[in-house]
Amino acid sequence: MKLNTINAESGKGERLDVFITKQVQEISRTTVKKMISQGLVFVDGVIAKPSLLLEGTEHVSFTLLSTETTTNKIEPEKMSLKILYEDNHLIAINKNAGITVHPGAGQNSGTLVNGLLFHFNKLSDINGSFRPGIVHRLDKDTSGVILIAKNNGAHIHLSKQFEKRVIKKKYFAITWGIFDKESGEIVSPIARSKKDPTSFIINDKGKDSKTSFSSKPLGQYTSEVSFFPLTGRTHQIRVHSASMGNPIFGDEKYGGGKTRSKGFMPEVSKKLNRILTSLGRHALHAETITFIHPQEQKEITISAEIPKELLSVKNDLTNLHV
């Protein structure tokens, strides 16, 4: 049986069994509790109880039950990948919108991981067989640059940079409305919604979250924004932007879909809805990432061109006048 190790930074304040279930979506919480009771889960090398509350600094190691490791195997799939950078240690991919990064509950195919397994013989395995090479993630409908580790040494080095917030990221976005100021910071804790576990909300009891931004008007109804997340919470930019009253254009989950256009004049609403339909995603793109190379110890910046569909929407919104 193979030992898998996960850093617990994203699980601060969570029960151990809940954290593992979220991280390894292919197994149930009941199975996780069984793994813990059988001594297959360790926190910093020590066997722990399911109810242990994580502080976020631990390393959680576990071995999947044999019934879990023999089912739902991830198969390589031929997939066109936009490779921005590659060497013996890492890969940078320009992920298309609409592609899920790794397999999860109910989806074992069509993910970026399936494509990676087809193209590359060797990837890091620190996060187990369901997430080979995956150091960080992008939401399904967020396009842009994502780093992939080819070996465990590179994976650990990059993971530590994320933990220490050394890595710098810049996102291109189009949002609803005009921002009150050209630049600033959004400092609001984020927590998972109890009503909808797939969504996140601003909550004083949530995890510390910080995003810097610079914005400029894009026509009369929207803004072009550069976001710089200083923490890496799930949906962070989307939640923070929405909390300002400026949800990401096209983001149905956080109020940026067609319902947002209902308050405008019929002629404007009709044109906005047409643009939203043609876009078919939310307007968020991971434009650049800057990190220290795990082997060369030099700072590297990798950029992913803004997709044509976002540039087209930008042009349409700039010229939208009624």
Sign of the alpha-carbon dihedral angle for 294, 133, 231, 5: negative
In whole angstroms, what is the distance from residue 154 CA to residue 173 CA? 30
Q: Is 232 strand, coil or helix?
A: coil
In whole angstroms, what is the distance from residue 266 CA to residue 160 CA? 51
Neighbours of 182 (CB within 10 A): 11
Find out whether 40 and 119 touch, Cβ atoms under 8 Å.
no
In whole angstroms, what is the distance from residue 46 CA to residue 40 CA? 10
Find the angle CA(9)-CA(60)-CA(192) to the nearest 5 degrees: 45
Sign of the alpha-carbon dihedral angle for 159, 165, 168, 171: positive
Residue 15 DSSP class? B
- Amino acid identity of residue 211, one-letter, is T
In total, the chain counts a number of residues equal to 322
In whole angstroms, what is the distance from residue 133 CA to residue 131 CA? 6
In whole angstroms, what is the distance from residue 238 CA to residue 248 CA? 6
Helix (H), strand (E) counts: the chain: 8, 15
Instruction: Say which of 44, 87, 125, 139 is annotated catalytic.
Output: 139
Show Cβ contacts of residue 106 under 8 Å, excluding neighbours closer than 6 positions: none
Q: Is 48 strand, coil or helix?
A: coil
Q: 139 catalytic, yes or no?
A: yes
- Beta-sheet pairing, 83-86 with 168-176: unpaired
Tell me the catalytic residues: 139
